[in-house]
Amino acid sequence: MLAALLGGGAWLIARDRWTRDTRHRLAVPLGLALGAMAVSALTASRAWLGYDQASASRYVGVVAPLLLPLLAVTTERIAVSAGRHAPMVRAVVVGVAIVAVISNLGAGPSAPKVTLRDAFAAAPRHPLAAATPGELAPAPTAAPAVTIGWLREALATGRLPAAPRATPVLEATTVLRLSIRQRAASPPALASLGIPSDAMTAFDVATNRRCQQLDAARSVIVRPGEPVVLFGSAMLRALPPTVAVASQAVPFGTVLVYTEPGPKQLDAIRGPVTLQVFAGRGTLCV
């Protein structure tokens, strides 16, 4: 239907005698349609994220309004050409719009689940927080920019949400978040594990005897000063005796877009920390 309105109206406009007034009226709709094409071309050209990026919700939300004025102008032209039936055309447009609004109400992506509020509200209030290095990121893959130092400062200035309800699982998860520091693997850490510093992929290290592909869950004890290196990503869970009950799983490693590429070094800030490493897409070197 949209194509019919656009095509039909455009055909009628093309048949009109072009005056200065016509050009003035069409300037904005055509300019915006050009902008829509530019946005689509630019987003589709970002092939490293996939060509389907052009149809991602955020870009659809940009392209659609840019095309609306042209659609409106062509629809109006069709209405005008209907002569005394123009009010009927307008009534049909109103009717279609009402149906479109109603049918669109639930469409599109849904709001994400709130996952980090409790974690960020709990971490700087935990007794371990004061003795935790400021640069440690409690959620290193989902929010690597948020450090415990920043959270402490936000808490001190009253900018954090209220403390969440304390539960054993939240306590264990907070201990995990405050005990493992993720950062880009340093050449010394890689060297200590016998990994060449230019090895950047899991494939490169697959044959290293200190490394193991994460195709099954495994338990690891990480001690301060003995970092482990993670290629790819994995979920970590703190286990007793480090904590009273098993913690929630926390993602670590490298994920698309939010973390820089390359292997990650996981340091125990305190410990030893007993971890379960699972759901991994990569290799763990211990």
Partner 1 sequence: MTAVVEPAPATGATTPERRQNQRAVARAAHAVVADSSRVVFAAFSAAAIAYWFRRAGGVWFVGDDWYPLAGRVLDVDGLLEQHAGHLIALPVVAYRILYWAFGVRSYTPYLLVTIALHVTIAWQLRSLMLRAGVGHWIATPLVAIWLFFGPGATNVMFAFQMTLAGSLALGLFQLRFADHDGTKRRRDAIGALAGVAAVACSGVGVAMVAATGAAVLMRRGLHAAAIQVLPAAAVYGMWFASPWSDSETTYPRSTQVWLRGCGSRSTARSWNSVGRRSPRRCSPRCSVAARG
Binding residues for partner 1 restricted to 163-222, rule: CB under 8 A: 183-186
Q: Quick check: 26 and 32 in contact, CB under 8 A?
A: no
CA dist 39 → 42, 64, 88, 133, 177 (Å): 5, 11, 35, 43, 40
Of the candidate residues 25, 210, 218, 281, the single one contacting partner 1 (CB under 8 A) = 25
Q: Give the span between the Cα atoms of 67 and 77, in whole angstroms.
A: 16
Of the candidate residues 8, 44, 69, 221, the single one contacting partner 1 (CB under 8 A) = 69
Q: For partner 1, which is the closer residue by CB, 195 or 246?
A: 195
Bridge partners (DSSP) of residue 184 are 264
CB of 140 to partner 1, least distance (A): 11
Closest CA to 252 of 193, 192, 171, 184: 184
**Binders in 252-281 for partner 1, by CB under 8 A:** 256-262
How many C-beta atoms lie closer than 10 Å to residue 94's C-beta? 10
Closest CA to 174 of 132, 141, 134: 132
CB of 96 to partner 1, least distance (A): 8
Q: For partner 1, which is the closer residue by CB, 109 or 241?
A: 109
Interface with partner 1 includes 142 (CB under 8 A)? yes
Amino acid at 199: A
Of the candidate residues 109, 127, 225, 241, the single one contacting partner 1 (CB under 8 A) = 109
Interface with partner 1 includes 45 (CB under 8 A)? no
| Alpha helix stretches (DSSP H) within 57-138 | 57-81, 86-104, 117-122
Considering only the stretches 85-93, 164-172, 209-217, 238-246, report the one whose residues sit in contact with partner 1 under the rule CB under 8 A.
85-93
Of the candidate residues 1, 3, 17, 106, the single one contacting partner 1 (CB under 8 A) = 106
Interface with partner 1 includes 18 (CB under 8 A)? no
